[in-house]
């Protein structure tokens, strides 16, 4: 099934039953008072409400904010107060008043960092001199995108403060967790924007045009990597009238590609990829990548636009399009490399720059969601609110809640690094893996009729 982000972006009508859109986070929030009279009950207790703080982002070029006003009522109804650093939403198109109108208060950075829960798009991505890290304290909860495998030292430093850190990139790729999945929500935005950038830079039109002055053939767009971003790019390019082809190492992607009206490019390649590793592709051998490059060269050369989105979790992006392949494209063609920040899928890619290779523009785009901050913040904020919702018990946050989404995304807890891959990167001893859930006991032979009866 297509990821929700792409399904919603396609022309499918919304599901009739709007409860389908309720996430597990919504459900837990509902149990804890969301949309019920529990709020007033909670307000009468002596326990102070927990505070969620939203600092202004300080990564260069970041425009998003970790909570948008639309996500606020979900939190306030669940028993949280929300404090936003003054100006935190300005670049995303949400002035302070948009937050106060929805029940938040505006505060200084120190007030925000005093909150029980801190939510950030880029966790602690500050100039070390800013002192943000030293503002953290034991027991505080920090939630956002962390890049824990690329920044294990940061995780260690946050663990050292005693704060509990959740990396939203580690939310499992399951249907239940989709509403908290920042990788999916932001990738869908990036896939869409990549096509707009390509169209804007291509000296051709996308759609077929029949005029008295002649017929213009549609642009040929080739998408490499048909994950969330790739599928969003396919849907967008199709809507703009291009002829779209796509390729992915996962054979399961074919059906999704075709369901969006694109042609799946068949390569006679043994990729050894099957579903089951949480939707992620595994790294290909050097030899297979080389073969892939050779087989793909013709399709790349015949394309006006190539959009590359291939990623392998935890490693640098595979180099799929070589400089030689780029040189095989017609001058004026455009490549948009969505993997630029992870090293790039194209050999000539430079992150943050557009490189000209014999008249072909290779765009090493970075943070495309940040170029559409209203909607990417709206989606990110909803992901965050849903995630927090999983831990809400009677208006308080329980970080020990028995939930796989919470357990898989915690990277620092109790003063220690809580994720074994991050520990390995730091040379720390592995923590014992949690016991897998006990299998259901087999009914004894004598009990079989009773078990059948009970199952009815
Ligand atoms: P991703 O960003 O890790 O990678 C993007 C795509 O690149 C993937 O489809 C991957 O197979 C592909 N890729 C990797 N190496 C490649 C290569 N050498 N050549 C061509 N393609 C290559 O992936 P993603 O977009 O985050 O998601 C991957 C899959 O997981 C998708 O099918 C998505 O629908 C699924 N998913 C499912 C859920 C869910 O809730 N069930 C949630 C999120 C994602």
> What spacing in Å lies between the alpha carbon of 228 and ligand 1's midpoint?
6
pLDDT of residue 285: 77
> What spacing in Å lies between the alpha carbon of 398 and ligand 1's midpoint?
31
Tell which atom from ligand 1 comes closest to the C-alpha of 281: 11
Tell which atom from ligand 1 comes closest to the C-alpha of 3: 34
> What spacing in Å lies between the alpha carbon of 227 and ligand 1's midpoint?
4
**Tokens, residue 242:** 């291009």
184 counts as catalytic = yes
192 counts as catalytic = no
Q: What does the mean pLDDT of the chain come to?
A: 86
pLDDT of residue 95: 98
Catalytic residue among 68, 74, 120, 178: 178
Check pLDDT > 50 for residue 183: yes
CATH class of the domain at 186-366: alpha beta
Cβ–Cβ < 8 Å for 345, 224: yes
Give 172's DSSP letter.
-
Pairing mode, if any, of strands 50-54 and 117-122? parallel
Ligand 1 pocket test: which of 145, 190, 310 has the largest number of ligand atoms within 8 Å of its C-beta?
A: 310
Tell which atom from ligand 1 comes closest to the C-alpha of 228: 25
pLDDT of residue 127: 66
> What spacing in Å lies between the alpha carbon of 253 and ligand 1's midpoint?
9
Mean pLDDT lowest for which of 158-167, 250-259, 290-299, 439-448?
A: 439-448
34 counts as catalytic = no
Ligand 1 pocket test: which of 191, 192, 228, 234 has the largest number of ligand atoms within 8 Å of its C-beta?
A: 228
Which strand (E) or helix (H) includes residue 8? Answer: helix 4-9
Q: What is the Cα–Cα distance from 101 to 111, expressed in whole angstroms?
A: 19
Cβ–Cβ < 8 Å for 247, 278: no
Confidence label for 14 from pLDDT (cuts 50, 70 and 90):
very low
181 counts as catalytic = yes
Ligand 1 pocket test: which of 8, 169, 281, 291 has the largest number of ligand atoms within 8 Å of its C-beta?
A: 281
Q: Determine the average pLDDT of the residues in 437-449.
A: 54
CATH class of the domain at 4-179+373-425: alpha beta
Check pLDDT > 60 for residue 247: yes
Confidence label for 5 from pLDDT (cuts 50, 70 and 90):
low
In this structure, what are the phi and psi dihedrals at residue 255, rounded to the nearest 5 degrees? -60, -40
pLDDT in tens, 304-333: 999 999 988 777 899 999 999 999 999 999
Mean pLDDT lowest for which of 37-51, 155-169, 440-454?
A: 440-454
Confidence label for 271 from pLDDT (cuts 50, 70 and 90):
low
Q: Determine the average pLDDT of the residues in 49-67.
A: 95
Q: What is the Cα–Cα distance from 25 to 12, expressed in whole angstroms?
A: 25
- Which residue lies with its CA nearest to atom 24 of ligand 1? 227
> What spacing in Å lies between the alpha carbon of 366 and ligand 1's midpoint?
18
pLDDT in tens, 210-230: 999 999 999 999 999 999 999
Note whether 4-179+373-425 and 186-366 share their fold.
Answer: yes
- Which residue lies with its CA nearest to atom 35 of ligand 1? 279
pLDDT of residue 35: 38
pLDDT of residue 289: 80
Cβ–Cβ < 8 Å for 116, 83: no
* Residue list, ligand 1 pocket, CB within 6 Å: 3, 173-175, 178, 181, 183-184, 187, 224-230, 247-250, 253, 279-281, 284, 309-313, 318, 320
| Exposure string over 227-262, b if 16+ CB within 10 A, otherwise e | bbbbbbbbbbbbbbebbbbbbbbbeebbebbebbeb
Domain residues of the chain, as ranges? 4-179+373-425, 186-366
Any bridge partners for residue 244, and if so which?
A: 221
Mean pLDDT lowest for which of 5-14, 74-83, 333-342?
A: 5-14
Nearest to 333 by CA among 362, 310, 295, 297: 362
Beta strands in 288-440 (DSSP E): 305-308, 334-337, 354-357, 360-363, 392-393, 396-397, 410-413, 416-417
Give 118's DSSP letter.
E
pLDDT in tens, 403-433: 999 999 999 999 999 999 999 999 999 998 8
Beta strands in 33-129 (DSSP E): 50-54, 80-85, 105-107, 117-122
> To the nearest whole percent, how much of the chain has pLDDT over 90?
71
Check pLDDT > 70 for residue 236: yes
pLDDT in tens, 354-387: 999 999 999 999 999 999 999 999 999 999 999 9
280 counts as catalytic = yes
Give 368's DSSP letter.
G
Question: CA separation (Å) from 268 to 1, 91, 307?
Answer: 25, 47, 21
């Amino acid at each position: 099934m297509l990821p929700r982000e792409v399904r919603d972006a396609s022309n499918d009508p919304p599901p009739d039953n709007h409860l389908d859109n309720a996430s597990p986070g919504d459900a837990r929030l509902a149990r804890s008072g969301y949309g019920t009279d529990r709020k007033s009950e909670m307000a009468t207790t002596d326990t102070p409400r927990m505070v969620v703080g939203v600092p202004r982002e300080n990564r260069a070029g970041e425009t998003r904010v970790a909570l948008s006003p639309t996500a606020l009522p979900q939190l306030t109804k669940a028993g949280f107060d929300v404090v936003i650093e003054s100006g935190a939403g300005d670049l995303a198109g949400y002035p302070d008043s948009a937050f106060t109108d929805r029940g938040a208060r505006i505060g200084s950075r120190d007030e925000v960092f005093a909150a029980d829960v801190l939510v950030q798009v880029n966790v602690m991505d500050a100039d070390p001199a800013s002192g943000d890290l030293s503002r953290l304290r034991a027991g505080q909860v920090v939630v956002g995108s962390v890049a824990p495998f690329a920044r294990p030292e940061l995780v260690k430093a946050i663990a050292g403060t005693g704060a509990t850190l959740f990396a939203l990139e580690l939310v499992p790729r399951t249907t239940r967790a989709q509403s908290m999945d920042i990788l999916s929500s932001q990738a869908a935005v990036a896939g869409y924007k990549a096509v707009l950038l390509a169209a804007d830079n291509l000296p051709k039109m996308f759609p077929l045009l029949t005029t008295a002055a002649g017929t213009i053939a549609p642009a040929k767009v080739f998408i490499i990597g048909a994950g969330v971003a790739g599928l969003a790019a396919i849907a967008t390019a199709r809507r703009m009238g291009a002829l779209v082809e796509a390729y992915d190492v996962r054979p399961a992607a074919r059906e999704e590609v075709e369901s969006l009206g694109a042609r799946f490019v068949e390569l006679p390649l043994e990729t050894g990829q099957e579903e089951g590793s949480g939707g992620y592709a595994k790294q290909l051998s050097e030899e297979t990548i080389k073969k892939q490059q050779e087989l793909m060269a013709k399709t790349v050369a015949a394309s006006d636009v190539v959009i590359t989105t291939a990623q392998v979790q935890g490693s640098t992006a595979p180099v799929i399009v070589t400089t030689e392949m780029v040189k095989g494209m017609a001058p004026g063609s455009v490549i948009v490399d969505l993997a630029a920040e992870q090293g790039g899928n194209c050999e000539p890619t430079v992150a943050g720059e557009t490189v000209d290779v014999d008249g072909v523009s290779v765009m090493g785009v970075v943070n495309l969601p940040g170029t559409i901050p209203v909607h990417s913040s709206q989606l990110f904020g909803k992901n965050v609110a849903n995630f927090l919702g999983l831990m809400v018990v009677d208006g308080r946050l329980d970080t020990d809640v028995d939930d796989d989404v919470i357990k898989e995304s915690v990277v620092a807890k109790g003063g220690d690094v809580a994720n074994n891959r991050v520990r390995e990167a730091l040379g720390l001893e592995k923590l014992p893996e949690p016991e897998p859930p006990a299998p259901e006991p087999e009914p004894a032979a004598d009990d079989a009729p009773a078990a059948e009866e009970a199952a009815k």
